[in-house]
Amino acid sequence: MKIKNSKQRLKKLISYYKPYKKMFFSYLFMSLMSGLISISIPAMMRYVTNNAINFEYTAAVKTILILFGAAIIMLILQYGCNYYVMFTGSLMGANIENDMRNEIFRTYQTLSHKFFDKNETGELMSRITTDLNNLSKFLHRFPEEIFFFVVRFAGVLAVLCWINWKLAIVATMLVPIVCVYILWFMPKLTKAFEKNFKKLAIVNARIENSLAGIRATKSFTNENLEIQKFEDSNQNFVSSQRESFKILGWSYSGMFAQASLYIPLVITTSALLIINNLLSLADLPIFTMCEMLLIGPLWGFMEMIEIMGHSIAGYNRFVDMVETKSEIVDSENAVELENVKGNILFHDVTFKHEKADKKIFKNLNLYVESGQYIALVGSSGVGKSTLCNLIPRFYDVSSGEILVDGINIKNIKLENLRKNIGFVQQDAFLFSGTILENIRYGKPSATNEEIIKAAKNAYAHNFIMNLPNGYDTQVGQRGARLSGGQKQRLAIARVFLKNPPILIFDEATSSLDNESERFIQKSMEKLAENRTTIVIAHRLSTIKNAKRILVMADGKIAEEGTHEELLSQNGVYAEFYNLL
């Protein structure tokens, strides 16, 4: 259930402090000690101004020096307390930020393809970096600032009442007004910062998109176009900040005016009390010192206003994200597949993308027998990749059902289902790291010997050994240091290592040169032995030997047969073949 209530969100926020209770209370205790020390010094000074000056000279000097020494010792203790508060509070905030970052990353890992189809990578990045970084500062500073202010306020009020209760009322009367002022501005500021975050996310998305496509940009000499796009999105972000700057300006100036009013208000009231013999002149500097102790936290609050606005907006975005649930989840009584044969059945399957008007296919029926090698062909957009993406439940069918070994895939545990399916796509994705690490991704527990065997099966071992660092060669971002054919062979080696009973090749050879295609084709055929295999083919030459070719058109299986049988029908397949 989504958390929308502010009280629930606050309760969730407090729960992040629980693992660090000892750290939290120890740093609050040190903050308390620092506050008490601040308050005790004016009390000591009052003793000097009201009593020590009446002592005999030697006794007065001795008393003053003792109190001065005590003040120095207390200030050293306060220095230690403040260091502990800053260090421990910052560390606690960083730990909580770490927990939140882990939580939001775990959420990303559970979400479906549909979610990532709709959300920009740059925006998702901003939620896990910028939002949480701002929130971390707030998480350790806000409790400290509030607690420190309450301690100081209570202590100063006690000292002031001890000196003169009438002046104490005047001196503290503005504090509630300041608090109400802050509370009045916060919702407006939070709303403005939420708009800022959305615009900043667009900027981040623009950066991520532009850098990912930098080679295309340079090949089309469109650097100036990309610069213009970025400057436009950047300017939109600056424009969105105008509202928050206006609110900050009003809140800062208002806080400054109220804080600045303290000293003339206290001096004027003090003067009137002194004239009427209601206040000792010796108490005036002590009163002023106490007022400065109150004004200090108020200046701190002024700084906290902006941090609070950023943090509340960021926290709301954080909660919205971690409360997002994937629509593709295990059913209540989901089972695990055992001794998988690889029989696949599509029964009256209909599918269309969310908010799309047209169905990609309707009432599709298809049976793939265990160990069978079938090829899917058809024009672009006909639904070949979509059909394959439905088997591991990257998307769920709109209606109908898909069964693996007679069990509806919705009733199979998602992790177990996907572990039994090997996927090789047209754009083989490699992670930054070494060749060894990328192949091992297919089976994290694999030994080096198993990895080398998989590479040999994928006809990748020879080219790997010819690289300067062999299996320890860095592949670069997305495998940028390797050719397309090399990346595909590593992707196939990864699937060899995984060793699944069901294979899906989604146009794995469509963008390769002839030599690379021959290597990939050999490794695909070797991998497909005794496995249920579905191949989406762009080049019909790669599937001539398939015993079963399915031709998709108009959301259905239009033709079926071997290469020779389909050519003899002189239909859609023959038309495709003759166009090559």
pLDDT in tens, 422-467: 888 777 788 888 889 889 988 888 899 999 988 888 888 888 899 8
Greatest mean pLDDT among 81-95, 194-208, 247-261 lies in: 81-95
Q: Angle formed by the axes of helices 223-275 and 165-172, to 10°?
A: 160
The alpha carbons of the chain give a radius of gyration, in whole angstroms, of: 35
- pLDDT-derived band of residue 315, with 50, 70 and 90 as boundaries? confident
Share of the chain above pLDDT 90, in %: 7
Fold classified for 6-322: ABC transporter transmembrane region fold (1.20.1560)
Arithmetic mean of pLDDT, 188-197:
76
State yes or no: pLDDT of 511 exceeds 60.
no
The residue with greater pLDDT, 407 or 313, is: 407
User: Residues 172, 288: contact at Cβ < 8 Å?
Assistant: no
The residue with greater pLDDT, 175 or 74, is: 74
Q: How far apart, in Å, are the Cα atoms of 271 and each of 233, 267, 276, 281, 285? A: 58, 6, 9, 9, 12
Specify the pLDDT at position 379.
Answer: 81
DSSP at 326: -
Least confident stretch, 25-29, 208-212, 300-304: 300-304
Specify the pLDDT at position 347.
Answer: 92
- pLDDT-derived band of residue 371, with 50, 70 and 90 as boundaries? confident
pLDDT in tens, 20-78: 989 888 888 888 888 788 777 776 776 666 665 566 667 767 777 777 788 888 888 88
Specify the pLDDT at position 57.
Answer: 66
Q: Please list the residue range(s) of the chain that carry CATH number 1.20.1560.10.
A: 6-322
> What is the rounded end-to-end Cα distance, in angstroms, of the chain?
54
CB under 8 Å to 313, separation ≥6 — which residues? 131, 190, 191, 193, 194, 196, 197
Q: Which residues pair with 532 in a beta bridge?
A: 502
User: Residues 426, 419: contact at Cβ < 8 Å?
Assistant: no
Give me the architecture of the 344-579 domain, per CATH.
3-Layer(aba) Sandwich (3.40)
Specify the pLDDT at position 48.
Answer: 66
- Residue 80 sits at the vertex; the CA angle it makes with 79 and 83, to the nearest 5 degrees, is 85
Phi, psi (degrees; rounded to nearest 5) at 566: -70, -35
**Element of type H or E holding 349:** strand 344-351
Q: How much is the mean pLDDT over the chain?
A: 80
Q: Which of 425, 404, 424, 426 is nearest to 416 (CA)?
A: 404
Q: CA 302, CA 262: separation in Å to the nearest integer?
A: 15
- pLDDT-derived band of residue 2, with 50, 70 and 90 as boundaries? very low
pLDDT in tens, 81-112: 888 888 888 888 888 888 988 998 988 888 88
Specify the pLDDT at position 567.
Answer: 87
Specify the pLDDT at position 530.
Answer: 84
User: Residues 106, 289: contact at Cβ < 8 Å?
Assistant: no
Q: CA 286, CA 288: separation in Å to the nearest integer?
A: 5
pLDDT in tens, 109-168: 888 888 888 887 777 887 888 778 878 877 877 777 777 777 777 777 777 777 777 777
Q: CA 170, CA 160: separation in Å to the nearest integer?
A: 10
Specify the pLDDT at position 210.
Answer: 75
Q: Which of 137, 124, 123 is nearest to 312 (CA)?
A: 137
The residue with greater pLDDT, 505 or 263, is: 505
Q: Which of 99, 100, 182 is nearest to 142 (CA)?
A: 182
pLDDT in tens, 219-232: 666 778 778 877 88
DSSP 539-561: SGGGGTT-SEEEEEETTEEEEEE
Specify the pLDDT at position 60.
Answer: 67
State yes or no: pLDDT of 189 exceeds 80.
no
Specify the pLDDT at position 1.
Answer: 41
Instruction: List the structure tokens of 308.
Output: 């609070």
Q: How far is CA 216 from the centre of its chain?
A: 28
User: Residues 316, 98: contact at Cβ < 8 Å?
Assistant: no
User: Residues 205, 236: contact at Cβ < 8 Å?
Assistant: no
Q: Please list the residue range(s) of the chain that carry CATH number 3.40.50.300.
A: 344-579
The residue with greater pLDDT, 265 or 513, is: 265
Share of the chain above pLDDT 70, in %: 86
Q: Which of 185, 186, 190, 200 is nearest to 240 (CA)?
A: 200
Q: CA 231, CA 564: separation in Å to the nearest integer?
A: 57
Arithmetic mean of pLDDT, 345-367:
85
Specify the pLDDT at position 47.
Answer: 65
